Amino acid sequence: MAHSEKFLLAGVMGWPVMHSRSPALHNFWFAEHRLVGTYVPLAIPPEGLSAALAALPALKFSGCNLTIPHKEAALASMSQLDAASKAIGAVNCVTVLPDGSLAGSNTDGFGFIEAVREEQPAWRVNAGPAVVIGAGGASRSILFAVADRGAPEIRLINRTAARAHALAAEFGKPITAYSWEDRHRALEGAALLVNTTSQGMVGEKPLDLKLDALPNTATVVDIVYVPLKTPLLMAAEQRGNPTVGGLGMLLHQARPAWKSWFGIEPKVTRELRALIEATIPAG
C-alpha cells in the first residue's frame, strides 16, 4: 500500500480518555515505520458515540479503538462483526472499510494470548484447567480466547455468583462457575490463573486469594497493569510460579488493529515496552 499521499489517522474513543496509553503506543509505530500520520485521544461522551463513529469515514480515519464506556454500545453502529466481538459482545477496534462502512472486531483476547505466549513461551492452553477470576468485560474476552484455543476446562469465579453462572451458561463448555467461597480450593491442579478484576490496581485492595492449592508450575496472569507488579504477581513469583503482568495484553491487542488499518503487522519490542512502562507508576 502506498501511504505517501495520505495522512494516516486513527484514535481511541473513550470517556474519559486522557489516561489512555494507546496514543503513545500507536505513535511509536508511526515513527518506527516512518509513516506520516497520527493517533489521537478522542473524548467522546456516551451520547456522542454513534455520531462520532459515523463521522470516521468523512474525516478519512482508517479506524479507531474503543475504550470504557463504549465497547458494548458500539456494536449497534457496525455493519460487520468478527467472531470474537460477536461472542464477547463488545468491540475494541473499528475499521473503516473502502465503501465507508464500519467493521467491528475485538482483539483483547488475542492480546491476552499473545502476551502470555511472549512472556511465558512454555505455556500451553491445553496444559490443564484455567481459573479465571472476575466476570466483567475483560473476563469475557479472556474466556472467549482461552476456550476458542482449546482449553480443556475453565473455572470461573466471581464475587457476585449470579454473574459467573450467567456467563458460564452463556458461553457453555468448557466453562464452569465456582462459588466465591470455593475460590482458594478451585486453584487445585490449575495450569493457568487469571485475575480480571480491578483488585490489586493502585488504590484498590489486593485480590483476596490464597495461592496454597495452586501448583507452582501454573502460570499466573494479572490483567491489572497499574502497578506493573500487583500483590498477586508478587505472591505468585515468591512461590516460584511463572507470571505475566497486564501491560503485554494492552500492547499486543493493538497489533491486529494496526494491521487492519494500515496493512502492517507491528511488533511489540523491548523499546516500545520500556516507553509505555515509563508512563506507569511503580506502585
Closest approach of ligand ATR to the CB of residue 33, in Å: 31
Closest approach of ligand ATR to the CB of residue 122, in Å: 27
| C-alpha cell at position 50 | 454513534
Instruction: Indicate the residue among 64 and 138 with the shorter CB distance to ligand ATR.
Output: 138
Among 85, 107, 139, 230, binds ligand ATR (CB under 6 A): 139
Binding status of residue 163 toward ligand ATR by CB under 6 A: yes
Binding status of residue 229 toward ligand ATR by CB under 6 A: no
Pick the piece of the chain touching ligand ATR (CB under 6 A) from 47-55, 153-161, 214-222, 224-232: 153-161
| C-alpha cell at position 123 | 505455556
Binding status of residue 135 toward ligand ATR by CB under 6 A: yes
Active site residue 71: yes
Instruction: Give the x-and-dash track for 181-210 against ligand ATR (CB under 6 A).
Output: ---------------xxxx-----------
Among 63, 104, 111, 134, binds ligand ATR (CB under 6 A): 134
Binding status of residue 137 toward ligand ATR by CB under 6 A: yes
Binding status of residue 38 toward ligand ATR by CB under 6 A: no
In angstroms, the CA 151 to CA 172 distance is: 13
Closest approach of ligand ATR to the CB of residue 31, in Å: 30
Strand-pairing partners, residue 178, are: 157
How far is residue 127 CA from its own chain's centroid? 22
In angstroms, the CA 61 to CA 81 distance is: 19
Among 159, 184, 229, 259, binds ligand ATR (CB under 6 A): 159
Among 67, 95, 158, 230, binds ligand ATR (CB under 6 A): 158
Catalytic residue among 60, 71, 259, 267: 71
Pick the piece of the chain touching ligand ATR (CB under 6 A) from 109-117, 154-162, 260-268, 272-280: 154-162
Instruction: Indicate the residue among 94 and 138 with the shorter CB distance to ligand ATR.
Output: 138
How deeply is 122 buried, as exposed, middle or buried, from its count of CB atoms within 10 A (0-12, 13-18, 19+)? exposed
Closest approach of ligand ATR to the CB of residue 13, in Å: 16
Among 160, 216, 217, 269, binds ligand ATR (CB under 6 A): 160
How deeply is 91 buried, as exposed, middle or buried, from its count of CB atoms within 10 A (0-12, 13-18, 19+)? buried
Q: Which residues of 201-226 are buried (b: 16+ CB within 10 A; e: fewer)?
A: beeeeebebebeebeeebbbbbbbbb
Instruction: Indicate the residue among 160 and 217 with the shorter CB distance to ligand ATR.
Output: 160
Binding status of residue 136 toward ligand ATR by CB under 6 A: yes
Q: Which residues are catalytic?
A: 71
Q: Which residues bind ligand ATR (CB under 6 A)?
A: 134-139, 158-160, 163, 196-199
